[in-house]
Amino acid sequence: MTATRLVARSDDSQLAYAHGGRLGLLDPALRELATIERPGPPRWLGFVGAQLALLDGDELIALDLPSLAEGARVALPPGLGALAVVGDRVALGGAGLTVVVARLLGRKIDLSDFTMTVAAQHVLPLPDHELLVVSAARTDVVDAVSKRVSARLHLPLPPTPREAGTTNGLRYVWTFTHGRPELFVVRLSDGRPFQQLLDAPVRAVHASVGGAWVVADTDAGPRRVHTQTLAAHAVDADLRQAACVTGGAEPALYWLDAALRLQRTPLTGQAVAPADGVARVGGVRMEVEPMGTIGGPRRESLAHAAAPRPTTAALAPLAPTAAPAPAAPAPAATSTSATPRPAAGPAALDWRVHLAEWARAVTTGKDLATPPLDPPLADLARRAELGPDGARALALLYGAWVAGEPRLALAVAARTVAWDELAGAGTLPRAALTEVVDGRVRVRAVVARFLDGAAVERVRVHGQRPRPDVAAGRQLAPVSPDLPVMASALALAERMGAAAIVDEVRARGAAELAVALDEAWLRGLPVIAIPGQGLDAETLAAVPLRPDHALVIAWPDDAAPVALEELPRLAP
């Protein structure tokens, strides 16, 4: 039988197929970009970095794009097969304990390797050039560059023989046991498993690198499954020849029909099962479990599990807590020679312009007192508990920002502001509203953009006004694992009156999370954090939090991870 393969590039920009000795390159609209003829079918075909790679016997061949001209080839140890692609590297392995990592560099291919202590059951791609190496003894995260183990995970996986892969930004593992109808999804951020009971045993799974939809090929036909909601629907396609899935803004299933014509089936549309828990697509009746867990499948109707979250009025109130004591107002700045402002009117300049003119004059040597601070600046100085010199320094630095010269030399700024408020231990440095780099001081960009009146970038604001009894500090809010965590976060925000919601899409890692927290604090909003691989439990537990700020972590389980288990719980 003629071998047929169909693969998609990780950024979903191109497709490639191999049928017999014919190799072709397509765009997502199915326009053919290039074709070549080869002596026979490849053992494996895949996009690796900026090239298309194939295994021909015991050789790895790299083809340039879009011409499909040969760029490089290298001989491999006998019997190796492709295991995972991470960036411009492909991991290859066989029956032994050695994994060969080939890096495609245009006109050459570099080979390196690492040795495992136990034979791998799966080698899967992860973000940041890492590999997930699953064995019977343990699960390691291996850096494909340094070949060192960077982390050890504990993932609940079904019994072997099983298939597994990663998808949805390489942050979720899909897996199934041969001959079984359960499709499992493991969220790597916390190791939590979920289960979707399909209506027939699973034969194979097709997934993209970035998209949330996977397609399970079952004995009853293909089923699309969403890796976050676990909604499942039948798909009208025939996957017996070849198939692949793309993600992006328009996720799709590409497949070859019996006549070897390439077909495209969109995967977009309703991503939540009907309220009665039965998917009615293509005449197939299928019980859907939106967010179950590993164990016995729940066969009851999901009318209750999929019910809308109760409204704010139906939720229990927050546990009563004393409102934080208001900060003492900053001492009023004295003014002896400030130039009076023109009266406000239709043609009056914005207060920021006057502040910029004052800052420019002060930095050129004029001895001018601090002008009266307008509400946004005055309110911030009060909340940050700045003294008169700290308020003057903040006004100077923000005025310099508006004037287009945000980074003032310390020697220049110190002529008019006390050194402690610029680079020492004064009230302004303690408030963390400024930063000093290479002898220059500036107001932090997140603070300046707040004073500019700009919209938030790292958080999603939901609600009108936060309740005064929202306690400051870090708290854990266990939420239902049977609902998308964002839906639970929105319900929490309604309980709190208003909140800023942050997830790994908006803020990934400790640095971006810190900016998101300040965006919310500057606007007087508590934060609800949705954990993810980029916002894991350790990051959420360690990120600095201002004393008068609230961070509520929405955790989709009653059992908290070790990093969060000591946190107080938000009342249900």
Burial class (CB in 10 A: 0-12, 13-18, 19+), 69: exposed
Q: What mean pLDDT do residues 509-516 have?
A: 94
Q: Are residues 411 and 465 in the same domain?
A: no
Which domain does 519 fall in, by range? 313-319+457-564
Tally of CB atoms within 10 A around 57:
12
Q: If pLDDT is split at 50, 70 and 90, which confidence band does 308 have?
A: very low
The reported pLDDT for the residue numbered 306 is: 32
Structure tokens at 154: 């504990």
Report the percent of the chain where pLDDT is more than 70: 85
Q: Is the peptide bond before 66 cis (omega within 30 degrees of 0)?
A: yes
The reported pLDDT for the residue numbered 311 is: 29
User: What would the pLDDT profile of 137-151 be if each residue is shown by its tens digit?
Assistant: 889 999 999 898 888
Residue 572 is assigned to a structural domain of this protein: no
**CATH number for the domain including 55?**
2.130.10.10
**Of 305, 330, 361, which residue constitutes the final position of a domain?**
305
Q: Which residues pair with 192 in a beta bridge?
A: 187
User: What would the pLDDT profile of 158-176 be if each residue is shown by its tens digit?
Assistant: 988 999 999 999 999 999 9
Q: Is the pLDDT of residue 310 over 50?
A: no
Q: What mean pLDDT is reported for the chain?
A: 84
DSSP state of 49: T
| Ranges 237-246, 332-341, 379-388, 391-400: which has the least confidence | 332-341
Residue 127 is assigned to a structural domain of this protein: yes
**Of 244, 276, 305, which residue constitutes the final position of a domain?**
305
Q: Is the pLDDT of residue 205 over 60?
A: yes
Q: If pLDDT is split at 50, 70 and 90, which confidence band does 387 have?
A: very high
Contacts 24+ apart (CB under 8 A), 64-73: 64/106, 65/14, 65/25, 66/14, 66/25, 66/33, 66/34, 67/34, 68/23, 68/25, 68/34, 68/35, 68/36, 71/104, 71/106, 71/107, 72/104, 72/105, 72/106, 72/107, 72/108, 72/109, 73/109
User: What would the pLDDT profile of 228-252 be if each residue is shown by its tens digit?
Assistant: 888 889 999 999 999 999 988 789 9
Residue 510 is assigned to a structural domain of this protein: yes
Residue 336 is assigned to a structural domain of this protein: no
Q: What mean pLDDT do residues 357-383 have?
A: 92
The helix (H) or strand (E) run that includes residue 378 is helix 375-383
User: What would the pLDDT profile of 7-24 be if each residue is shown by its tens digit?
Assistant: 999 999 999 999 989 999
The reported pLDDT for the residue numbered 572 is: 60
Residue 110 is assigned to a structural domain of this protein: yes
SS (H, E, C) 115-159: ECCCCEEEEEEECCCEEEEEECCCEEEEECCCCCEEEEECCCCCC
The reported pLDDT for the residue numbered 280 is: 34
The reported pLDDT for the residue numbered 307 is: 31
Q: If pLDDT is split at 50, 70 and 90, which confidence band does 508 have?
A: confident
Q: Are residues 265 and 402 in the same domain?
A: no
Q: Is the pLDDT of residue 115 over 50?
A: yes
Q: If pLDDT is split at 50, 70 and 90, which confidence band does 3 have?
A: low
Residue 121 is assigned to a structural domain of this protein: yes
The reported pLDDT for the residue numbered 482 is: 67
If one counts the domains in the chain, the total is 4
The reported pLDDT for the residue numbered 298 is: 31
**Of 305, 338, 367, which residue constitutes the final position of a domain?**
305
The reported pLDDT for the residue numbered 350 is: 86
Q: Are residues 162 and 299 in the same domain?
A: yes
Q: Are residues 437 and 495 in the same domain?
A: no
User: What would the pLDDT profile of 22-61 be if each residue is shown by its tens digit?
Assistant: 999 999 888 999 999 999 999 999 999 999 999 999 999 9
Q: What mean pLDDT do residues 263-271 have?
A: 75
User: What would the pLDDT profile of 318-356 be if each residue is shown by its tens digit?
Assistant: 333 333 343 434 333 333 333 444 444 434 568 999 999
User: What would the pLDDT profile of 59-95 be if each residue is shown by its tens digit?
Assistant: 999 999 999 999 999 999 999 999 999 999 999 999 8
Q: Is the pLDDT of residue 285 over 80?
A: no
Q: Are residues 356 and 281 in the same domain?
A: no
CA distance 24 to 36: 7
Q: Are residues 178 and 122 in the same domain?
A: no
Q: Are residues 214 and 300 in the same domain?
A: yes
Residue scoring higher pLDDT (283 or 468): 468
Q: Is the peptide bond before 342 cis (omega within 30 degrees of 0)?
A: no
Q: Are residues 4 and 123 in the same domain?
A: yes
Q: What mean pLDDT do residues 426-454 have?
A: 95
Q: Are residues 398 and 447 in the same domain?
A: yes
Q: Are residues 73 and 180 in the same domain?
A: no
Q: Are residues 499 and 444 in the same domain?
A: no
Residue 378 is assigned to a structural domain of this protein: yes
Q: Are residues 490 and 374 in the same domain?
A: no
Residue 172 is assigned to a structural domain of this protein: yes
Q: Rounded to whole angstroms, what are the CA distances from 536 to 68, 72, 166, 510?
A: 41, 40, 18, 10
Report the percent of the chain where pLDDT is more than 90: 65
DSSP state of 509: S
